[in-house]
Structure 1
Amino acid sequence: MNKMRLMCITNNVELALVADEAGVDYIFIDLEIIGKVERQGHLDTVISKHSISDVSKVANVLTNSQLLVRVNPIHENSKKEIDNVIEFGASIVMLPYFRSAWEVEKFIEIVNGRAKVFLLLETKEAVESIDSILEYSSYIDAVHVGLNDLHLSYNMSFMFEPFVSGHLEFIVDKLNDKSIPFGIGGVAELGRGDIPSELVLNEHIKLGSSMAILSRSFTNESEYKNQKGFLEAYRSKVIAIKKHISSLGGEFCGESSILFKKLVNEKVG
C-alpha cells in the first residue's frame, strides 16, 4: 500500500493548524456549491459553507500540509474562480462533478500548470467517458473517487455499494493503467462509521488507494464541551488512525474483506 494521505475538510484556522501538526497531508477548502444542495440535500451529509477568503487565511498558517481547494464544476466564471484560489495560495485545485473530457480539458487549460490538478470522479457519465478523460493523464496529478455522488449517480442505495458492485475495480484498473495516484471517499475515526473504518481501510489496501478524507466523526465539534477539548480529541484521533494505517503495513486481509462485503450487502438489502 502506498502512503495513505489524509485530507481534513475545514476552513477553521485553528483546526487547520492542529491537522497540519498532526500529520494530515491535505487541508481541504471546499468552495463547491453549484448543484450540490439539489444532489445531496436529502442526505445526512455536510454541505460546506467555505468562502474564497478562507483560502488565504488557511494558506498563511500551513507549514507541512498542502492546501487543496475544491472549486465548482466548470461554469461561466470558472476562470476567475480558479485564478483567485491559485493567487490566494492553493497548491492543489480539485474539479468536482465533471461528466466529460471537455470539462477536464478546460480545467487543465485554466490551471495551466500553476497548481496540481486533482479530479473528483463522481458521476456515471465520467466513468463511461473515462478513456477519453484519461487521454489527459499527463496533466492529472491524482483522482479522488467521490462515493456520495457516485452512488447517487448509479441510483444505488448505500454509499459503499460501489466497493462491491464492480464499479470501483473498473475505475481503479483504468487509473492504474495510466499510473495515476487515487483515493476513495472518506474514512471515519477508528471504530466508527456506517462500516467500521478498519474494514474500509482494508478495502483501500486491496485496491491500492492512497488518499482518504477524514469524515464528519473527526470534525464534529458539537460532541465536545469546548473547542480546546475538540482540538485535543481531533489530534488524538488523527494520530490513532495514522498509527493504525502504519500497523497494517500494506497487508490486505481477506477475512476483513469478506466481512466488509457482508455488511455492505446487508445495508443494500
Structure 2
Amino acid sequence: MFHDAGNGQIGATDGRARPRRFELREVSVERAGRLVLDDVSATLPGGSVAVFGPSGAGKSTLLRLLNRLLEPSRGAVLYEGRDLREIDPLELRRRVALVPQLPALEPATVADNLRLGQRFAAVGRWLRWGRQVGATGADAAGADRDALAKLLASVGLGPEYLARQAERLSVGEQQRVMIARALALDPEVLLLDEPTAALDADSRRQVEQTLTRLRRERGIALVLVSHDRQQVARLCEWVVELDRGKLVAAGSCSEVLGRVGG
C-alpha cells in the first residue's frame, strides 16, 4: 500500500512550517551481500513521521540515508525535490540533524557539549538564539550563556545544567542534552533513531514531551524510528512501515496502525 501525501504538510504548526518532504525512489541498500533495503519507494512528508517496523526491518538504514550517513546502492533520495547527492553533506547535516539511539556526549560540561553543536553550524548561524554579533568580553560571555540556556530551556532543562558534567547526568537528561545540541544547528528536521529505547518510563515521557513541544513551538519536522506502536501513535501523523527491507505500508498514522491492529 502506498499513498502520496499531497502537498507534504501535515500538522502545520506556525508560519515557519514548510513541506520538508523526503522522497525515496526505488532505493536499495546492499551490505555484506545482503539487501537491507529492497526497492523502497515512499514519501515522507513534513511534520512528524514514523519509520516503523520490527527489529531488522531496515529502519535505521533508511534514517541514515536521509542525511547521507549512508548512500543508496541503487535509486535516489530527494529532499524538497532535490537529489541529496547534489547537497553538500555538511550543509545537509546542519539542516537535517541526527539524534542517535544512545547519548554520545563528550566527558565535559553540558555547556561544552552544546558548543560542539554550535561550532558545527555555519558561521553567522550558530547562536542565532540570543548571540549579540560583535559582542566581546563580558558581553560575549553573557550572550553565550544566554544562548546556551535557551537551548536547554527548549528541552525542559534549567540553566544550572550548563556547569554540570555530562557523564554524571541521568540517561534521560543526557538524551535531552543530545537533542539540545542538535538544535544548536537550527535544523529543519530532526532524525531520531529510537531515542527513548534506553530510557525508563518517566524519562521516556519527558523526551516525548520535548519532541511534541518542538513540533508545536518551532515547527521542526521529525522523522522517528520506532518499533513501539503506542509511541508512534502518540507522536506521529504519518507512518512508513518496513519489514525485512521492504515497504509494507505508507499512510496516515490511523490508517497504518489501524491495519496493524492492536
Q: TM-score range by the shorter chain?
A: 0.3 to 0.5
TM-score by length of 2: 0.35
Give the greater-gyration-radius structure (CA). Answer: 2
Higher helix share: 1
Higher relative contact order (CA 8 A, sep 6+): 2
